[in-house]
Amino acid sequence: MKSLQSVRGMHDLLPEQAESMQRLVQGASDVLAGFGYRLIQLPLIEQFELFARSVGEHTDVIGKEMYTLAQSDGDPLVLRPEGTAGCVRAAIQHGLVRTPQQRLWYHGPMFRHERPQKGRQRQFWQLGVEALGMQGVASEAELLLLGASLWRAMGLKGLRLEINHLGGAESRAHYRQALQEWLLVRADQWDGEIMERARSNPLRVLDSKDEAVRTALGEAPQISEFLSDAERAGFAELLEVLRENDLDPQVNTHLVRGLDYYTGVVFEWSSDRLGAQSAVCAGGRYDELVEQLGGQPTPCLGFALGWERVMLHLDAQAEAETEAAAGDSRDSAVDAVLIPLGEASASRRAILMANQLRTELPGLHLVMDIGGGNLAKKLRRADRLRARQVLLLGEDEMERGVVSVKLLYDAPPQGQFEVAQGSALLEYLRTSIHERGSG
């Protein structure tokens, strides 16, 4: 009988992963409480229309990635692809947006029918935060500093922060038009997909991964040229505040985001350790969404992080730290093990050589290999001593007045090479001691 498997792109979180995620959620919830955020939990199933009206009909999420549930009556239902729309829907429905400010957070599975690959599942877990009823630089700075605090609490290091300003409704509309005209005039340069985006959602062209398109876009109108004075000043102030608080965002004028509800500041934290799916966390301001979904105009902002990507980054980081620690301990190991090979005369010659080297180089950590076995066994012994290299002295080397050096710990490995006995060998080992001292 065919064995039953989990559905493609949907993964089991086995106890170790589930517990590790729970620990991270616990740490995050302490940080969130410290910033005044309160937990809200929302249904996994919502009406299709909620996302069509918020995420946008011309986005990939709505156009290609929705899990739609067939219903014999009523409006189509979907598995939620993200949390912002549901959170705003709930805030309107229960009157939360009537109180001046709300800081809300949620976590749970989201569903997108994307092509699965490393860091990209069809069911994935997000932790999202939404600040409703807040405008101005202080709220944007707070949100980004909350992100940085979450990374600290979870021990995530080395994420890159990119930021952009998409403008308010008016500046974005002017920019959209200018970009669309620029794209359509060059229609012969683009393939069908770019043309389709140029017509329906021109800002999404900026997202293209195609190198040729990206290069061509270097000449395209930039959003920064279309911002109002107030938007430009606010963005500059935000960057200053962030830098004052040790965040160093890179401004990326092509950062647009794949969901249509954003206005103003948008950002993305990404990791170099994840390959193509590098975005760990993303978000921004969405001042028009409450109104679009039937509420009163309410400025809002938020972000969501992907748990699987957080955990992949943490695993890769732990691996790199273990390797670095191994490298450090190698720095403190012996400089070289001298291995005489074969003839008894090699052993006598090695004793003499070791004695001379130690006399000439008092700081040298040189160990003589004593004991039988073949070369592999001798190398293993040297490795156990955490030696940086071995010096091989066999009949051939003795005849030619050299030693063969084999580096045991070296990236990239340089294999084996020869050094002449006498002053060249002294000089070579002196450098080795120096490297150990400065490493």
Point out which residues bind ligand HAM (CB under 6 A).
Answer: 82-84, 112, 114, 119-121, 124, 126, 128, 130, 259, 279-283, 302-306, 308-309
In the complex, minimum distance from the CB of residue 120 to ligand HAM, in angstroms, rounded to a whole number: 4
DSSP code of residue 318: H
CA distance 134 to 281: 20
* Closer to ligand HAM by Cβ: residue 292 or 347: 292
Give the 3-state secondary structure of residue 71.
Answer: coil
**Number of H-type helices and E-type strands within the chain:** 15, 16
* Closer to ligand HAM by Cβ: residue 314 or 333: 314
Contact predicate 165/239, CB 8 Å: no
In the complex, minimum distance from the CB of residue 81 to ligand HAM, in angstroms, rounded to a whole number: 7
* Closer to ligand HAM by Cβ: residue 280 or 341: 280
DSSP secondary structure of 368-426? E--S-S-HHHHHHHHHHTT-SEEEEE-HHHHHHTEEEEEESS-SS---EEEEETTHHHH
In the complex, minimum distance from the CB of residue 188 to ligand HAM, in angstroms, rounded to a whole number: 32
Contact predicate 65/78, CB 8 Å: no
In the complex, minimum distance from the CB of residue 128 to ligand HAM, in angstroms, rounded to a whole number: 5
Between helix 229-244 and helix 137-154 the angle, nearest 10°, is: 30
Whether the bond between 412 and the residue before it is cis, its omega within 30 degrees of 0, is yes
In the complex, minimum distance from the CB of residue 312 to ligand HAM, in angstroms, rounded to a whole number: 9
Q: Which two tokens stand for residue 242?
A: 């962030």
* Closer to ligand HAM by Cβ: residue 103 or 436: 103
In the complex, minimum distance from the CB of residue 10 to ligand HAM, in angstroms, rounded to a whole number: 11
In the complex, minimum distance from the CB of residue 307 to ligand HAM, in angstroms, rounded to a whole number: 8
Contact predicate 256/165, CB 8 Å: no
* Closer to ligand HAM by Cβ: residue 51 or 226: 51
Q: Nearest-CB residue to ligand HAM?
A: 306
* Closer to ligand HAM by Cβ: residue 305 or 367: 305
* Closer to ligand HAM by Cβ: residue 111 or 190: 111
* Beta strand ranges found along 101-175 (DSSP E): 102-111, 123-132, 160-165
What length is written for the chain? 439
Q: Using CB atoms within 10 Å of the CB of residue 238, give its burial: 0 to 12 exposed, 13 to 18 middle, 19+ buried.
A: buried
| Amino acid, single-letter form, for residue 14 | L
In the complex, minimum distance from the CB of residue 203 to ligand HAM, in angstroms, rounded to a whole number: 15
Contact predicate 86/80, CB 8 Å: yes
* Closer to ligand HAM by Cβ: residue 101 or 322: 101
Q: Which of 160, 121, 266, 264 is nearest to 207 (CA)?
A: 266
Q: Which two tokens stand for residue 211?
A: 């190198």
CA distance 89 to 137: 25
* Closer to ligand HAM by Cβ: residue 59 or 389: 59
* Closer to ligand HAM by Cβ: residue 234 or 264: 264
In the complex, minimum distance from the CB of residue 369 to ligand HAM, in angstroms, rounded to a whole number: 51
H helices of 35-158, in order, are: 48-54, 60-64, 84-93, 137-154
In the complex, minimum distance from the CB of residue 55 to ligand HAM, in angstroms, rounded to a whole number: 8
* Closer to ligand HAM by Cβ: residue 151 or 190: 151
In the complex, minimum distance from the CB of residue 305 to ligand HAM, in angstroms, rounded to a whole number: 6
